[in-house]
Amino acid sequence: MPTVPDPLFADCPDRRGTGAEKWDRYVGRDVLPVWVADMDFRAPIEVLTALHDRVDHGVFGYTHEPPGFAPALAAHLERRHGWLVDPARIVATPGVVTGLALTARLFAAADEEILTFTPVYPPFLTLPALAGRRCVRVPLAQSPEAWWIDFDALEAAVSPRSKIFWLCHPHNPTGTVFEQTDLLKLADFAVRHGLTVVSDEIWSDLLLDEDHGGTRHIPFASLDHPAAATAITLVAPSKTWNLAGLGCAAAIVPEPDIRRGWRAAGGGLVPMVNPLGYAAAEAAWTHGDSWRTRLITVLRQHRGLVQEAVATIPGLSCVPAAATFLAWIDCRSTGVKDPQAACEAAGLGPSDGREFGAPGFIRINTACPTDRLAESLRRLRTAFAGG
């Protein structure tokens, strides 16, 4: 029996003409944009109310962390992940990408190395060079059922110039949630080679099976391990509650000296977080959980639709994501040389695997109304199976 669509996620505003990066890429063309990782859904009413209240205040001067911001995040981390964080360790930052860029400058010198697993969210690959540091790519291992860490490849890649490990956890684009055994092995590796672990946990509130007996998110810095005691964690409400345009994220920074030098490490280029971003983040962390739970129900259905479609298109395969609203699709057995071009010709605009260090893959964003996803999957079939 077909399920009744949740009205929160069935009826979306038209984003065309609003400067939406996602929709403007294919403006004027019949191409459904399923690339950049924001959702087409309206943010929760609790967040919209907090924004209205902040607007009604009417003064938008220079703003640092409002008193409720760090406690709201700390309470959220404790409730969701059982992780007790001292609010004094929380530093606001205008984006997780900004936070990554700052850590490159804080923990590595020019020409030193930042290790990361590939495929990965493109800024992990491009930011080191922008900071004059080197990116060392360590491929994840892959089977039809899973992606996992190849610790031999990791040992082979590290050198005395390696200073940082950038962990994407849960992992974009594969949707992998790293489990405790692997996190502890990674922590041992970091200590052995003197690396600071920077863990990007922006996706950690979108674990699709957590409330259904599946894998839970374990914050890297919550491990009982010396590597955890120095690790930096980056989080944001932006993926979970669709707030990316408001530019508000947070770093959890254990060392007071690093906290003091955090924004200054940007050399004057890092702005303060804006007051609306703070208001939205605090409301999302405090009041956003029932909306989040309903979202996950929809995302689980969407993951199922993608898996059904992929299974019937010859040559495609996709390890089901344990987290995120992304589907990372392997097109290498289709015989199609340029999967991105084939999709666009069929009216579908995914993210191109080449940008993630993985030619032959595409990434599809499923966070749109179900009927739009169904149409996207029809176009996916046209791209690879001719309709």
Q: Which residues contact 188 (CB under 8 A, 6 or more apart)?
A: 225, 227
What is the per-residue binding string for ligand PLP in 137-176, x denoting contact by CB under 6 A? -------------------------------x---x----
**How many CB atoms neighbour CB 118 within 10 A?**
15
User: Least CB distance from residue 326 to ligand PLP, whole Å?
Assistant: 8
User: Least CB distance from residue 328 to ligand PLP, whole Å?
Assistant: 12
Nearest CB to ligand PLP, comparing residues 121 and 165: 121
Nearest CB to ligand PLP, comparing residues 32 and 326: 326
User: Least CB distance from residue 241 to ligand PLP, whole Å?
Assistant: 12
Order across the sheet with 249-252: list the strands.
90-93, 249-252, 232-235, 196-200, 162-168, 113-118, 134-139
202: contact with ligand PLP by CB under 6 A: yes
- Report the C-alpha gap between 336 and 342 in whole angstroms: 8
User: Least CB distance from residue 364 to ligand PLP, whole Å?
Assistant: 14
Tell which residue, 351, 355, 301, 359, has the closest CA to residue 334: 359
Ranges within 169-188 binding ligand PLP (CB under 6 A): 172
User: Least CB distance from residue 345 to ligand PLP, whole Å?
Assistant: 26
User: Least CB distance from residue 285 to ligand PLP, whole Å?
Assistant: 15
Q: Record the tokens describing residue 105, joined without a space.
A: 């400058």
User: Least CB distance from residue 36 to ligand PLP, whole Å?
Assistant: 7
**The only residue of 20, 37, 177, 208 in contact with ligand PLP, by rule CB under 6 A:** 37
User: Least CB distance from residue 7 to ligand PLP, whole Å?
Assistant: 26
364: contact with ligand PLP by CB under 6 A: no
Q: CB of 170 within 8 A of CB of 177?
A: yes
238: contact with ligand PLP by CB under 6 A: yes
323: contact with ligand PLP by CB under 6 A: no
Q: CB of 34 within 8 A of CB of 350?
A: yes
Q: CB of 82 within 8 A of CB of 221?
A: no
Nearest CB to ligand PLP, comparing residues 149 and 249: 249
- Report the C-alpha gap between 153 and 156 in whole angstroms: 5
Q: CB of 376 within 8 A of CB of 364?
A: yes
Q: CB of 326 within 8 A of CB of 320?
A: no
Ranges within 71-100 binding ligand PLP (CB under 6 A): 95-97
367: contact with ligand PLP by CB under 6 A: no
Q: Which residues contact 308 (CB under 8 A, 6 or more apart)?
A: none
Residue 240 phi/psi, 5° resolution? -70, -40
106: contact with ligand PLP by CB under 6 A: no
231: contact with ligand PLP by CB under 6 A: no
200: contact with ligand PLP by CB under 6 A: yes
User: Least CB distance from residue 115 to ligand PLP, whole Å?
Assistant: 16
User: Least CB distance from residue 313 to ligand PLP, whole Å?
Assistant: 25
What stretches of the chain adopt beta strand conformation (E)? 32-33, 90-93, 113-118, 134-139, 141-142, 147-148, 162-168, 196-200, 232-235, 249-252, 317-318, 326-330, 348-349, 351-352, 361-365
- Name the residue with tokens 């898996």: 307
User: Least CB distance from residue 143 to ligand PLP, whole Å?
Assistant: 23
244: contact with ligand PLP by CB under 6 A: yes
Q: CB of 219 within 8 A of CB of 199?
A: yes
Number of residues in contact with ligand PLP under rule CB under 6 A = 13
Alpha carbon separation from 210 to 62, 172, 216, 238, 326 (Å, rounded) = 39, 17, 5, 20, 17
Nearest CB to ligand PLP, comparing residues 167 and 342: 167
281: contact with ligand PLP by CB under 6 A: no
Cis status of the peptide bond prior to 119, with omega within 30 of 0: yes
Quick one: which segment of 53-61, 128-136, 236-244, 251-259 binds ligand PLP (CB under 6 A)?
236-244
121: contact with ligand PLP by CB under 6 A: yes
- Report the C-alpha gap between 125 and 195 in whole angstroms: 18
Binding site for ligand PLP (CB under 6 A): 37, 95-97, 121, 168, 172, 200, 202, 236, 238, 244, 249
